[in-house]
Amino acid sequence: MLLQNKNAVIYGAGGSLGGAIAKAFATAGARVFLSGRNLKTVQKTAEAILSSGGEADIYELDGQDEKAIDNHMTWVLQKVPKVDISFNAIGTDVKQNIPLTEMTLEDFMQPINTNVRTRFLTAIAAGRVMMKQRSGVIISLTATPGGIGYPYTGGFGPACCAVEGFSRNLASELGVYGIRVVNIRSGGSPDSKVFSDAINKYPDEMKDVLQKMEADTMLKKLPLMSDIANTAVFLASDMSGKITGVTIDVTAGTTAALNYRALSVFSK
């Protein structure tokens, strides 16, 4: 197993994507330390892992609270001698589908402040521990607007760009300690909770939205949560031991071209 004998700290493990990544890490052999603000959803993720024979510990945690994050890291180190992996999958509320010229400063800045804050705090907490170990992997998560201009995404696009920039800079500082820092850019998974909830609530509108998103990809398919989770397992493993300071794009090619203009001959 790729992550055998590894200890992984996962923030936002109660969310659908965070939960999928936690399960994938556990399946790959890691002992996972799951945290989130909603302990009930985190517990569900843990129960699924434990029932499959994996190892999981849970902790109620606000990913915006510096002291809570530091206390949590201390708690983890009381249970295991080292932290091999830190993954932040915490989401945030975003005001979208509003032109920037009509958006308030507060609504624009909210996703920037919250995304950058939690990723800074959790990465720094892990980095301080990993510097003493002289090993470890810190992984963050962004989305398509981090790689291209994406209209009507409000402050979410700049937030993704900021997180990707922070990830690169942190990698450049921690590399001398044997620590890798990488980011995953997701294209949005239609099987994630945020999409499934929207599909159930607005089936007709979301059908059109998903078709347009698929048309923007090179493969004409959106990445599923399993695609993101599998990428995370690879990046956390020794198989990617020389990969650091970069964002791995798992958008099915969306950030590389205007792919809606490319039509398959079979669709004509």
Could you read off the pLDDT of 198-217 as tens digits, one per residue?
A: 888 888 888 888 888 898 89
Residues 14-31: what's their mean pLDDT?
96
Comparison of pLDDT for 168 and 208, the residue scoring more: 168
Confidence at residue 256, expressed as pLDDT on a 0 to 100 scale? 85
User: Residue written as tokens 């996972």?
Assistant: 32
Question: Does the structure show a pLDDT above 80 at 63?
Answer: yes
What is the Cα–Cα distance from 113 to 37, expressed in whole angstroms?
A: 18
Confidence at residue 30, expressed as pLDDT on a 0 to 100 scale? 98
What are the beta bridge partners of residue 85? 8, 137
Confidence at residue 2, expressed as pLDDT on a 0 to 100 scale? 96
Using a pLDDT cut of 70, give the percent of the chain over it: 97
Residues 113-130: what's their mean pLDDT?
97
Confidence at residue 96, expressed as pLDDT on a 0 to 100 scale? 87
Q: Picking from 111-120, 123-132, 207-216, 256-265, which range would have the lowest pLDDT averaged per residue? A: 256-265
Residues 260-267: what's their mean pLDDT?
61
| Angle, helix 16-27 to helix 39-51, in steps of 10 degrees | 30
Contact present, 5 and 35 (Cβ < 8 Å): no
Contact present, 100 and 31 (Cβ < 8 Å): no
- Using H for helix, E for strand and C for coil, what is the string for 153-222? CCCHHHHHHHHHHHHHHHHHHHHHHCEEEEEEEECCCCCCHHHHHHHHHCHHHHHHHHHHHHHCCCCCCC
Sign of the four-CA dihedral 197, 211, 250, 112: negative
Mean model confidence pLDDT for the chain: 93
Sort 96 into a burial class: Cβ within 10 Å, 0-12 / 13-18 / 19+: middle
Question: Does the structure show a pLDDT above 70 at 29?
Answer: yes
What is the Cα–Cα distance from 87 to 17, expressed in whole angstroms?
A: 12
Using a pLDDT cut of 90, give the percent of the chain over it: 79
CATH number listed for the domain at residues 7-267: 3.40.50.720
What is the Cα–Cα distance from 179 to 241, expressed in whole angstroms?
A: 10
For residue 223, which of 246, 254, 244 has the smallest C-alpha distance?
Answer: 254
Enumerate residues 6+ apart whose C-beta is below 8 A from 176: none
Confidence at residue 196, expressed as pLDDT on a 0 to 100 scale? 84
For residue 62, which of 12, 112, 10 has the smallest C-alpha distance?
Answer: 12
Question: Does the structure show a pLDDT above 90 at 192?
Answer: no
> Where are the domains positioned within the chain?
7-267
Question: Does the structure show a pLDDT above 60 at 266?
Answer: no
What is the Cα–Cα distance from 3 to 212, expressed in whole angstroms?
A: 37
